[in-house]
Structure 1
Amino acid sequence: MEAINNFLLMLDGYLGSAAYFPYILLGVGIFFTLYLGFPQIRFFGHAWKVLTGKFDKKGAKGDTSHFQALSTALSGTVGTGNIGGVALAIFLGGPAALFWMWVTAFLGMTTKFVEVTLSHKYRVQTEDGTMAGGPMYYMDRRLNMKWLAVIFAVATIISSFGTGNMPQINNIAQSMEMSFGVDPMLTGGILAILLAMVIIGGIKRIAAVTSKIVPIMGLLYVIGAFSVIFYNLDQIGPSFAAIFTDAFSGSAATGGFLGATFAYAFNRGVNRGLFSNEAGQGSAPIAHASARAEEPVSEGLVSILEPFIDTIVVCTLTGLVILSSGVWSEKHENTFSRTDLEVIAGNYDDAVEADRTKLYHYLNSTNENTIEKFTGTITVRDGAAVSNGYTMLHARSVAEDVRFIVAGEDPYTGSLRIDNGRLMKEDIVIVGESLVHSAALTSIAFSNGFLGDWGEYIVPISLLMFAFSTAIAWSYYGDRAVVYLFGQKGVMPYRIIYVAGFFIASFADTTLVWTLSYVAIVLMTLPNLLGIMLLRREMKDTVKAYWQDFDAEQSKSKDEN
């Protein structure tokens, strides 16, 4: 598993974590925002009216209403990215990461408007009478770049596992085990059966389920978040201050958090922002292509609301809960993940300023780093290490009160071989105090409010609904990509594999699953961004034509009245 994770991290280094990627993603958003005259601001109010069905026309082709299409797309974006993803961004980049998530969302409102409009414009009706759309169709039917369409469709299928499937159930299972003691395999098994029952019914059943789940889960989560925010109201001001003051300088060391450079906070914020709202990824256009609408721009306008709801509202609430409660920089008792664990040479204490500085350079891979990974032997007696000359890091923090356990809960005694910072003995469980991340961090933060320990249960319940609905939506995205590549005959085999992968991921390594998602996202995003840039003039003309027709209809309606 570690070898696979390292390989995926290497790929991610050339893709999502590469220095160029955030600039490409934000650059496209900035271009279209200026090119189309800030549509996320000018058309925001109109988008809500379209959503309510005020301008619907009878007889419009499609499988779902505007609201159902938005709910399906939102269920695909409002998931672990909002709960675990925000926590992961703050854990990696500090408060500054949240600022860059906002920037990504604001610009992403325009990017999503463009990709949804173009995808809806070139959608097709399939053999079974349902609509199919997405970037692969405008790449094929308009750009005549079938090779690019195939790359995108293949990446969509991979991403349906790496984004919408595996991280979702993994976070659900992790959260349910931590809060309720439910075995991950049991959680995965039950939800895999429920998932199969929903997705076999196709888009109409998916839309019916998600349109009910999304409002309920949103209300529950907002209530829980405000219970923490108002409880820690005196820390909201300092939290906002940290977000903005650190945005262009990086986040300073605080408590167990050892700091992050600007480049790291910027990259992680943009990366997690994309994972959260998926603007530019090309996934949501697949859901919106099912909407009953004659004018592609009308559905594009509805999609503007997605990044706003998903990131600017929901992710902000999560971020303020984590920052105001202070748990993001505190160490907590947890079982160490091997992929988050490393051993470095030398004795370091994060309470000593000089040591903190050296650890900062090591964790952020700066040119000033002088720390090397440890290779040697650690002697353990009754579960506690008795040798020195090394420091154990877990989750980018100095681990404390470390205990080594074997065969269930028996303290380990003996020698442990460390090779290049990695523990070689597989059957050892390590427990101690360190920073935590992902859904576990959000869960701890929710217990620091008016609801006390009961608040912790909001996260697994919300995550259950958020993430399960995301898995439902992403099954449809992969489904449509399969239809494009192989026709209707490929749908059922895909659904079977999708459900099987969902179950297996419930007890897989968390870090490995997240790393896979990093790679899969970018494999969709880059082809999609290229496609919409090539169609920039057509997009502008399509928007102009929509408003001319709309104004004409409004004038005609007034004359008739």
Structure 2
Amino acid sequence: MNLVHVLETISSWIWGAPLIILVMGTGLWLTIRLKMLQVFRLPLAIKLIGKAPNEGSGDVSSFAALSTALAATVGTGSIVGVATAIKLGGPGALFWMVVAAFFGMATKYAEGVLAVKYRVKDRNGQFSGGPMYYIENGLGRRFKPLAMLFAFSGMLVALFGIGTFPQVKAIVSSTENSFGVPPIVTALIIATLTALVTIGGLKSIAKVSTKVVPFKTGLYVLICIIVLIRFADQLPAAIALVLHSAFSTTSATGGFAGATIMLAMRSGVARGIFANEAGLGSAPIAAAAAKTKWPAEQGLISMTGVFIDTMVICLMTGLTLLVSGVWSGPTDAGLMTQQAFSSAFPLGAELLTIILIMFAFTTMLGWNYYGERCVEYLLGVKWIKPYRYLFIALVAGGAFIKLDAIWLLADIFNAMMAFPNLIALLGLSGIVVAETRTYMDSLYSNKQKGILAGASVSAAIQVEEKGQTVNS
């Protein structure tokens, strides 16, 4: 039995029933305790994305913090991950992906709340937060081993997993296949760009993210809409197929081997978690740096990350695969979306390559910051610069490393991040509810003051008008 086989066994078990039940159970529990906040407060959350007051302490704006989190979240997993889920679990996997995202919105909200609630300042005067801090400062010092486990796993994922090798490989392969650029040239360019952005720390990463993330997301959604319009006559049947396949066995057809309900559920939930990262505990590291005086305010903004990633990007990706018919063909999962785009218009494959490059590059930027905060928690601020230099070196060499074992190790370390984080979310759910109530009460109070102020102004105008009538 070789190393890859051993890692595959561990990864399959850890990302099987134990973690999926914990992730879904945590999301369900928070949804109940927060009274379906992800439904009733979603309009407010979307409004806050561009209109958050940005009052209080913090390193970057609330929008910049969200963009940094989305930079890491909206990556190749939002495209290739969806194709993999459907290829393995059938169209029904898309339904379960959306279900996981619905509960994941409550989870991501709680993560954002706790990140701001328990954040601290490091010796450089920058804010640090995330699961390692709300585990230690929220649950108590006796839980510090869990916090250290999270930070250690997060550092390894950033350096040797999601943050470097898979993203560099995706960029190098795409540019070589689509444009014929030699791997070493692409690797050097990506390493240089990464260095230029990451050496400047969070503010530099956030500055790039606030420009690139909205652009790449908007461009990708636009192309998906074009594909859906091109195959509009197939859309009703595709939606019906998703709903039907979610609750029944999907028969083998074309290059698709068939799937049971359980396989569809497992594929959709697992890939959904990978795509939106709700429950992994990565996004709250960025949320902790936001300028805000209300933890719940940033929680609402953080919650929109799951909505944007899964309810919009992943859902549209899945539907393009279904309406174009490529999901049941012999095409490899990694190339399915490219084929779907090509079938709709001539330059579809080339545009997708450009988008994939942006997705992968911004993922590296986001995970660079996550890893940095984990290093700061474990080793102190003096290790931040060495970490950044090591990260850049790994990006430069990532194009020439085989990924089989690395991907599996990243999956395992992702799970090692999720378990401590989910335990903390369950243990601190009461704090999340209390912070939510405080924030909502403040909104209601301000609204009432506004009504009273408006009434006072109206009364003053009426008095003034009456006075003018008498004088005349």
Common fold: TM-score over 0.5: yes
2:336 corresponding residue in structure 1: 441
**Structure 1 segments of 4 or more deviating over 4 A?**
510-513
1:399 corresponding residue in structure 2: none
The one-letter code matched in structure 1 to 2:250 is S
Match of 2:411 among 490, 515, 518: 518
Match of 1:29 among 27, 30, 47: 27
Q: Identify unmatched segments of 5+ residues in structure 1.
A: 332-434
The one-letter code matched in structure 1 to 2:71 is S
Q: Contact conserved, 2:52 with 2:62, CA < 8 A, in 1?
A: no
Deviates more, 1:210-219 or 1:180-189: 180-189
For residues 283 and 537 of structure 1, the distance between their equivalents in structure 2, rounded to whole angstroms, comes to: 21
Q: Quick one: structure 1 residues 272 and 54, their matched pair in 2 at CA, closer, same or farther if it must change by over 3 Å? A: closer
For residues 446 and 517 of structure 1, the distance between their equivalents in structure 2, rounded to whole angstroms, comes to: 30
Match of 1:90 among 86, 91, 113: 86
For residues 473 and 183 of structure 1, the distance between their equivalents in structure 2, rounded to whole angstroms, comes to: 26
Shift of 1:305: 0.7
Match runs of 1:20-59 below 5 Å: 20-57=18-55
Q: Identify unmatched segments of 5+ residues in structure 2.
A: 455-472
Shift of 1:120: 1.1
TM-score by length of 2: 0.92
2:382 corresponding residue in structure 1: 489
For residues 87 and 401 of structure 2, the distance between their equivalents in structure 1, rounded to whole angstroms, comes to: 21
Q: Quick one: structure 1 residues 516 and 459, their matched pair in 2 at CA, closer, same or farther if it must change by over 3 Å? A: farther
Shift of 1:165: 2.5
Q: Quick one: structure 1 residues 504 and 444, their matched pair in 2 at CA, closer, same or farther if it must change by over 3 Å? A: farther
Where 1:448 maps in the other structure, the secondary structure is helix
Match runs of 1:287-298 below 5 Å: 287-298=286-297
2:281 corresponding residue in structure 1: 282
Deviates more, 1:305-314 or 1:515-524: 515-524
For residues 267 and 114 of structure 2, the distance between their equivalents in structure 1, rounded to whole angstroms, comes to: 29
* Residue 456 of structure 2 is aligned to residue 560 of structure 1: no
Shift of 1:170: 1.9
For residues 250 and 78 of structure 1, the distance between their equivalents in structure 2, rounded to whole angstroms, comes to: 30
2:231 corresponding residue in structure 1: 232
2:135 corresponding residue in structure 1: 139
Q: Contact conserved, 1:119 with 1:289, CA < 8 A, in 2?
A: yes
* Residue 443 of structure 2 is aligned to residue 550 of structure 1: yes
Where 1:75 maps in the other structure, the secondary structure is helix
The one-letter code matched in structure 1 to 2:429 is R
The one-letter code matched in structure 1 to 2:154 is T
Where 1:253 maps in the other structure, the secondary structure is coil
For residues 231 and 3 of structure 1, the distance between their equivalents in structure 2, rounded to whole angstroms, comes to: 47
- Once the two structures are superposed, residues 486-515 of structure 1 have per-residue CA deviations (whole angstroms, 9 ceiling, x without a partner) of 111111221122222223332434554543
The one-letter code matched in structure 1 to 2:320 is V
Q: Contact conserved, 1:93 with 1:250, CA < 8 A, in 2?
A: no
Between Structure 1 and Structure 2, the one with more helix by share is 2
Shift of 1:54: 4.8
Shift of 1:272: 0.7
2:216 corresponding residue in structure 1: 217
Match of 2:76 among 77, 80, 83: 80
* Residue 100 of structure 2 is aligned to residue 104 of structure 1: yes
Where 2:174 maps in the other structure, the secondary structure is helix
Where 1:292 maps in the other structure, the secondary structure is coil
Q: Quick one: structure 1 residues 508 and 251, their matched pair in 2 at CA, closer, same or farther if it must change by over 3 Å? A: farther
1:478 corresponding residue in structure 2: 371
The one-letter code matched in structure 2 to 1:296 is P
Q: Contact conserved, 2:90 with 2:264, CA < 8 A, in 1?
A: yes
1:348 corresponding residue in structure 2: none
- Once the two structures are superposed, residues 196-250 of structure 1 have per-residue CA deviations (whole angstroms, 9 ceiling, x without a partner) of 1111101101100000001111121122212222212222222212211111224
* Residue 243 of structure 2 is aligned to residue 244 of structure 1: yes
For residues 249 and 87 of structure 2, the distance between their equivalents in structure 1, rounded to whole angstroms, comes to: 13
* Residue 94 of structure 2 is aligned to residue 201 of structure 1: no
Match runs of 1:504-515 below 5 Å: 504-509=397-402, 511-515=404-408
Q: Contact conserved, 2:110 with 2:432, CA < 8 A, in 1?
A: yes
For residues 128 and 417 of structure 2, the distance between their equivalents in structure 1, rounded to whole angstroms, comes to: 17
For residues 279 and 169 of structure 1, the distance between their equivalents in structure 2, rounded to whole angstroms, comes to: 24
Q: Contact conserved, 1:32 with 1:111, CA < 8 A, in 2?
A: yes
Q: Quick one: structure 1 residues 64 and 159, their matched pair in 2 at CA, closer, same or farther if it must change by over 3 Å? A: same
The one-letter code matched in structure 1 to 2:422 is L
2:302 corresponding residue in structure 1: 303
* Residue 407 of structure 2 is aligned to residue 502 of structure 1: no
Where 2:412 maps in the other structure, the secondary structure is helix
Deviates more, 1:509-518 or 1:484-493: 509-518
Where 1:458 maps in the other structure, the secondary structure is helix
The one-letter code matched in structure 2 to 1:72 is T
Q: Contact conserved, 2:165 with 2:403, CA < 8 A, in 1?
A: no
Where 1:276 maps in the other structure, the secondary structure is helix
Shift of 1:527: 0.8
Match of 2:63 among 60, 67, 70: 67
- Once the two structures are superposed, residues 163-190 of structure 1 have per-residue CA deviations (whole angstroms, 9 ceiling, x without a partner) of 2322222222222222222233332221
For residues 145 and 390 of structure 2, the distance between their equivalents in structure 1, rounded to whole angstroms, comes to: 25
For residues 321 and 235 of structure 1, the distance between their equivalents in structure 2, rounded to whole angstroms, comes to: 10
Q: Quick one: structure 1 residues 114 and 504, their matched pair in 2 at CA, closer, same or farther if it must change by over 3 Å? A: same
- Once the two structures are superposed, residues 281-319 of structure 1 have per-residue CA deviations (whole angstroms, 9 ceiling, x without a partner) of 101000111100011110001111111100110111111
For residues 24 and 559 of structure 1, the distance between their equivalents in structure 2, rounded to whole angstroms, comes to: 47
2:433 corresponding residue in structure 1: 540
The one-letter code matched in structure 2 to 1:265 is A
Q: Contact conserved, 1:97 with 1:268, CA < 8 A, in 2?
A: yes
Shift of 1:262: 2.1
Q: Contact conserved, 2:54 with 2:61, CA < 8 A, in 1?
A: no
Of structures 1 and 2, the one scoring higher in RCO (CA 8 A, sep 6+) is: 2
- Once the two structures are superposed, residues 399-453 of structure 1 have per-residue CA deviations (whole angstroms, 9 ceiling, x without a partner) of xxxxxxxxxxxxxxxxxxxxxxxxxxxxxxxxxxxx4012x2221221010x22x
The size of the alignment, in residue pairs, is 451
Where 2:161 maps in the other structure, the secondary structure is helix
For residues 456 and 116 of structure 1, the distance between their equivalents in structure 2, rounded to whole angstroms, comes to: 36
For residues 506 and 172 of structure 1, the distance between their equivalents in structure 2, rounded to whole angstroms, comes to: 9
Where 1:164 maps in the other structure, the secondary structure is coil
2:121 corresponding residue in structure 1: 125
Q: Contact conserved, 1:165 with 1:471, CA < 8 A, in 2?
A: yes
Q: Identity rate of aligned residues, in percent?
A: 41
1:322 corresponding residue in structure 2: 321
For residues 162 and 441 of structure 1, the distance between their equivalents in structure 2, rounded to whole angstroms, comes to: 24
Deviates more, 1:230-239 or 1:461-470: 230-239
Between Structure 1 and Structure 2, the one with more strand by share is 1
Q: Contact conserved, 1:158 with 1:520, CA < 8 A, in 2?
A: yes
